[in-house]
């Protein structure tokens, strides 16, 4: 039996239908992802499950004594409560159970007292709550909160508050967890930990997320809300896309069948008066309904196909005819805030059409580097050269929007209803419909839009103008998947340079050509791997570090023997270097071929190609030296062993 069942549920606000005659259930232990466009009703569905709002129609059935806990997007904590206080307060029921049990132990035994003692003991054991302080310490450590345990909860950063709220939910132990965008404000390491933690839970989990890897990793079922209706798909995100494609194919087949049937019925309708006698009015009505569907279906199919293409496909990037030009050149720049070193001796070139993802843990200096590029703050030392370039900037504050203007005034401040997009004159609605805005929104004030809709306006403004470089700070936060797909499409077709900070692994894998990894203590590392590959290798290296550390602890008396072999980390590096060297050699060969092709070197510029060859050769030389050093070390140690 399901823990929660919604039967024939309807909900509307004013005259807008949000949910229309939906059926939805939450079986025990199932993990369900809710997807859909901003404003489609995802949060409304969660609020119905948590009983925050009532339905207009339909039946909601909840199992008795059901415990449902909800994680809001923006957690709120009591003032003057520390992080530890918040965690301990969440265990108030356990503390009360301990106090009651201690009291009963001081009383004379009665049948009722013994029964109550048994119930209290079962409750404490069920929640693993015999040692409350250890339980709190364990959760603080698991969520990386132990170093800030005494700080006031309402002074924490967004990511820290999200981690604290998640830790409280785990401590309370629920039958159903409701999570609204749980990965927002979390760095990749914490997202991966959250995935592992949720995966290990036996309770049911219902969550909204734009993180497609997160959905793929956790969801037993994906439920899509579209135009008030619910569609349910077994499996993760990739299976959801596959099933949507099947629906599209079936819809196309049904449309073809409808056209054939309509042609036959039209022939009947045109046979003359005898064929259209009054007793056939029902058949005539069906023909008219078929005509209506035949007109509507192509636009529905086209819309579905476009959305699927945006979700599934890497769009081809048009090669620009302009040569790559230097946008930024950093020479040994450094920056620290108070005593914390964020950037140390960073040297970096950014050329036209580079697409660079800046990744790393929260607080490591990623946004600081963006502010240096934007000239909002200075570097402490080093030189940064900026070309004569125009920069478009996107952040979560949406400072470029005037809340008092409507959409038409925002895009056409000088009047009229046309705008110029990349040299083409377009009607403003023709442009805005690419960002999922219906025509009736043109007169709507910005202040009346939802947060996700405002983000879509900000993106539409950004892409309406011509820039040499786009700088984006967490562009996917608070966007639904449909809007992220639009963002990805525009960024993949963007001719300039792109520099962005993101924790969204799917987004980074799809968009970035290069990673700039902030590793902490001011150390930055460039990588041409995909983000997923980079994280996998880092995880392997970390495992080797742990193994190496364990060996040191367990083999203190075998120093001589241990010194006669490579460390696990060195061995791993020695295994990886040949492939890296081969890749660099291929890159150099490819660039040298470009120098012999007049068409290419005129397009890119001989100086730029020569610089790329020089950089690649320097990188190759460093890797070769490292390889020969490790190979010689390995050989010598092997000889010593024998």
Using one digit for the tens of pLDDT, what is the confidence trace for 342-379? 999 898 888 888 999 999 988 888 989 999 999 999 99
Give 151-162 pLDDT, tens digit per residue: 998 888 777 888
Query: Per-residue pLDDT for 635 more than 80?
Result: no
pLDDT at 205 over 60: yes
Instruction: Answer whether residue 288 shows pLDDT above 70.
Output: no
Q: Residue 465's pLDDT band (boundaries 50, 70, 90)?
A: confident
The CA-based diameter of the chain, rounded to the nearest angstrom, is: 106
What phi and psi, each to the nearest 5 degrees, are found at residue 515? Answer: -110, 140
pLDDT of residue 573: 83
Phi-psi label, residue 150: left if phi above 0, alpha if psi -120 to 50, beta otherwise: alpha
Would you list the domain boundaries of the chain? 1-67+174-235, 79-166, 240-269+288-309, 328-537, 568-640
Higher pLDDT, 74 or 42: 42
Quote the pLDDT of residue 509.
92
> For the chain, what is the radius of gyration of the CA atoms?
30
Among the listed residues 257, 266, 270, the one whose alpha carbon sits nearest the alpha carbon of residue 291: 266
Span 187-214, average pLDDT: 87
Which of 32-36, 246-250, 468-472 is the least confident region?
Answer: 246-250
Tens-place pLDDT, residues 511-545: 998 899 998 889 998 888 888 888 877 776 666 66
pLDDT of 596 above 90: no
Nearest Cα to Cα of residue 472 among 450, 457, 491: 491
Q: Strands (DSSP E) along 374-492, which ranges?
A: 381-386, 391-394, 418-421, 424-427, 469-473
Confidence of residue 450 (pLDDT cuts 50, 70, 90): confident
For tokens 């092709």, name the residue.
Answer: 597
β-bridge pairing 418-421 and 57-62: unpaired
How many degrees, rounded to 5, is the angle at CA 93 between CA 92 and CA 98?
95
* Residue of 22, 59, 28, 62 lying closest to 40 (CA atoms): 22
Q: Name which of 406, 444, 33 is nearest 241 in CA terms.
A: 33
- In the sheet with 326-337, reading across from the earlier edge strand, the strands are 340-351, 326-337, 381-386
Q: How confident is the model at residue 128 (pLDDT cuts 50, 70, 90)?
A: low
Is the pTM here over 0.75, yes or no? no
Examine the pLDDT at 501 and tell me if it is beyond 60.
Answer: yes
User: Is 60 exceeded by the pLDDT of residue 314?
Assistant: no
Same fold, 328-537 and 568-640: no
Lowest mean pLDDT: which of 18-22, 207-211, 574-578, 624-628?
624-628
Q: Which helix (H) or strand (E) holds 233?
A: strand 229-234
Cα 521–Cα 523–Cα 525 angle in degrees, nearest 5: 150
Nearest to 117 by CA among 103, 129, 131, 130: 103
CATH of 1-67+174-235, one of 3.40.50.300, 3.40.50.150, 3.40.50.1000, 3.30.70.260: 3.40.50.300
Banded pLDDT at 546 (limits 50, 70, 90): low
Nearest CA-CA partner of 509 in 490, 482, 488? 488
Would you state the pLDDT for residue 270?
52
Percent of the chain as helix, strand, coil, to the nearest 5 = 50, 20, 30
Q: How many helices (H) and strands (E) does the chain have?
A: 21, 20
Determine phi and psi for 232, rounding to 5 degrees.
-110, 135
CA-to-CA separations, 577 to 141, 515, 612, in angstroms, rounded: 36, 19, 21
CATH number listed for the domain at residues 568-640: 1.10.287
Q: Which CATH architecture has domain 328-537?
A: 3-Layer(aba) Sandwich (3.40)
- Rounded to the nearest integer, the mean pLDDT of the chain is 81
Q: What is the mean pLDDT of residues 42-63?
A: 93
Phi, psi of 563 (to 5 degrees): -75, -5
Nearest of 487, 491, 489, 469 to residue 478 by alpha carbon:
487
CB 468 within 8 A of CB 392: no
Q: Tell me the average pLDDT across 572-598.
A: 83
What's the pLDDT band for 279 if we cut at 50, 70, 90? very low
């Amino acid at each position: 039996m399901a823990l929660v069942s919604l039967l024939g549920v309807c909900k509307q606000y004013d005259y807008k239908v949000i949910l229309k005659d939906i059926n939805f259930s939450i079986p025990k232990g199932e993990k369900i992802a809710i997807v859909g466009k901003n404003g489609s009703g995802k949060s409304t569905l969660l609020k119905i499950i948590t009983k925050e709002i009532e339905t207009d129609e339909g039946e909601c059935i909840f199992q008795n004594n059901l415990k449902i806990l909800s994680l809001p997007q923006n957690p709120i904590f009591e003032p003057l409560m520390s992080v530890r206080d918040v965690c301990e307060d969440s265990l108030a029921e356990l503390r009360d159970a301990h106090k009651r049990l201690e009291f009963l132990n001081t009383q004379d035994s009665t049948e009722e007292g013994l029964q109550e003692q048994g119930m209290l003991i079962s409750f404490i054991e069920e929640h693993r709550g015999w040692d409350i302080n250890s339980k709190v310490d364990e959760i603080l450590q698991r969520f990386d909160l132990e170093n800030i345990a005494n700080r006031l909860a309402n002074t924490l950063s967004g990511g820290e508050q999200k981690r604290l709220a998640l830790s409280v939910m785990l401590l309370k132990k629920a039958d159903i967890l409701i999570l609204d965008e749980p990965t927002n404000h979390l760095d990749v390491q914490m997202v991966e930990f959250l995935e592992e933690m949720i995966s290990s839970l036996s309770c049911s989990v219902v969550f909204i997320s734009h993180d497609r890897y997160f959905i793929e990793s956790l969801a037993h079922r994906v439920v899509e809300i579209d135009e008030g209706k619910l569609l349910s798909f077994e499996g993760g995100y990739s299976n959801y896309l596959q099933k949507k494609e099947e629906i599209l194919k079936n819809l196309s087949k049904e449309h073809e069948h409808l056209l054939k049937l309509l042609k036959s019925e039209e022939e009947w309708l045109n046979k003359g008066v005898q064929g259209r006698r009054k007793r056939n009015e029902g058949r005539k009505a069906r023909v008219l309904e078929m005509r209506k569907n035949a007109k509507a279906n192509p636009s529905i199919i086209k819309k579905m196909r476009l959305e699927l293409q945006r979700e599934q496909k890497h769009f081809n990037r048009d090669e620009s005819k302009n040569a790559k030009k230097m946008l930024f050149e950093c020479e040994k720049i450094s920056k620290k805030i108070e005593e914390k070193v964020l950037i140390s001796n960073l040297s970096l070139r950014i050329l036209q059409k580079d697409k660079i993802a800046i990744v790393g843990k929260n607080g490591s200096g990623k946004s600081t580097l963006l502010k240096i590029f934007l000239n909002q703050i200075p570097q402490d030392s080093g030189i940064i050269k900026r070309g004569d370039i125009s920069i478009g900037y996107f952040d979560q504050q949406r400072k470029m929007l005037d809340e008092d203007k409507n959409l038409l005034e925002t895009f056409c401040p000088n009047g009229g209803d046309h705008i110029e997009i990349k040299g083409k004159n377009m009607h403003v609605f023709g442009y805005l419909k690419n960002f999922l805005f219906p025509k009736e929104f043109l007169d709507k004030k910005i202040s009346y839009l939802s947060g996700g809709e405002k983000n879509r306006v900000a993106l539409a403004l950004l892409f309406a103008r011509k820039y040499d470089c786009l700088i984006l700070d967490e562009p996917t936060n608070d966007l639904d998947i449909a809007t992220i797909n639009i963002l990805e499409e525009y960024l993949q077709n963007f001719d300039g340079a792109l520099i962005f900070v993101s924790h969204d692994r799917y987004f980074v894998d799809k968009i970035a050509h290069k990673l700039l990894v902030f590793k902490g203590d001011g150390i930055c590392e460039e990588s041409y791997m995909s983000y997923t590959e980079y994280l996998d290798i880092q995880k392997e290296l970390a495992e080797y570090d742990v193994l190496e550390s364990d060996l040191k602890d367990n083999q203190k008396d075998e120093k001589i023997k241990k010194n006669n072999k490579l460390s696990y980390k060195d061995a791993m590096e020695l295994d990886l270097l040949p492939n890296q060297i081969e890749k660099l050699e291929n890159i150099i060969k490819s660039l040298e071929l470009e120098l012999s092709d007049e068409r290419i070197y005129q397009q890119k510029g001989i100086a730029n190609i020569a610089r790329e060859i020089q950089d690649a050769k320097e990188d190759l030389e460093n890797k070769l030296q490292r390889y020969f050093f490790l190979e010689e070390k390995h050989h010598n140690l092997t000889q010593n062993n024998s």
